[in-house]
Chain A
Amino acid sequence: AQTVTQSQPEMSVQEAETVTLSCTYDTSESDYYLFWYKQPPSRQMILVIRQEAYKQQNATENRFSVNFQKAAKSFSLKISDSQLGDAAMYFCAYRGYFGNEKLTFGTGTRLTIIP
């Protein structure tokens, strides 16, 4: 079974600075998808960024980018120019390539933005 590990329960960053959230996963599959979701206090789960394992290029969405290291099974999220609205729980998630399998989530990292 796939597992997703987020080893940082909490992180904090100064506004306008850069922060990196860590995620590792365990799988025997060669093709899969990885995601970062954001859950602000409103509780709504919001997709931040996705990465296809067969793509070598790291995904980027505006201030959000990932560092995908397939051999190391690592998928970190970098947030540049942090803003107050980035304060939230961030969840890393894994999904297999075939079919519509379930997403497996990590335990989350709570990000605090310091004004």
Chain B
Amino acid sequence: NAGVMQNPRHLVRRRGQEARLRCSPMKGHSHVYWYRQLPEEGLKFMVYLQKENIIDESGMPKERFSAEFPKEGPSILRIQQVVRGDSAAYFCASSPQGQPNYGYTFGSGTRLTVV
């Protein structure tokens, strides 16, 4: 039973390029969350999605960042025109429907480096 799969594990982008981070939730989980972790800091919520719906995007920067969770395929976090300040670890997590006591299952994260 595979856990949450994130890829790539490491991603290097030049300033101005686009970054695409992928996340496949754990089997049977219908809720996906994206978090960002800056060096030596905690996890900051970005967005919460269900299939084809964005439920809460209160943590997403207003520009350049977008997320989707299509009916088929993984969830995608997209960062356009990356800047040095976007360098961070991006974590995806998933949880099943109707089980708030479950917490999350996390992926291993994608470390984005902008050069």
Contacts and interface: CB of A to CB of B under 8 A. Distances in A.
A68 interface: no
Contacts of B41: 107-108
Contacts of B44: 105
Question: How big is the A interface, by class?
Answer: 20 to 34
Interface string B81-115: 00000000101010101101101101011010000
A43 B33 contact: no
A15 B3 CA distance: 31
Main secondary structure of the interface of B (DSSP, over half): strand
A91 B56 contact: no
Interface residues of B, number: 25
Contacts of A86: none
A37 B41 CA distance: 14
Contact of A95 (B91, B100, B106, B108): B100
B65 interface: no
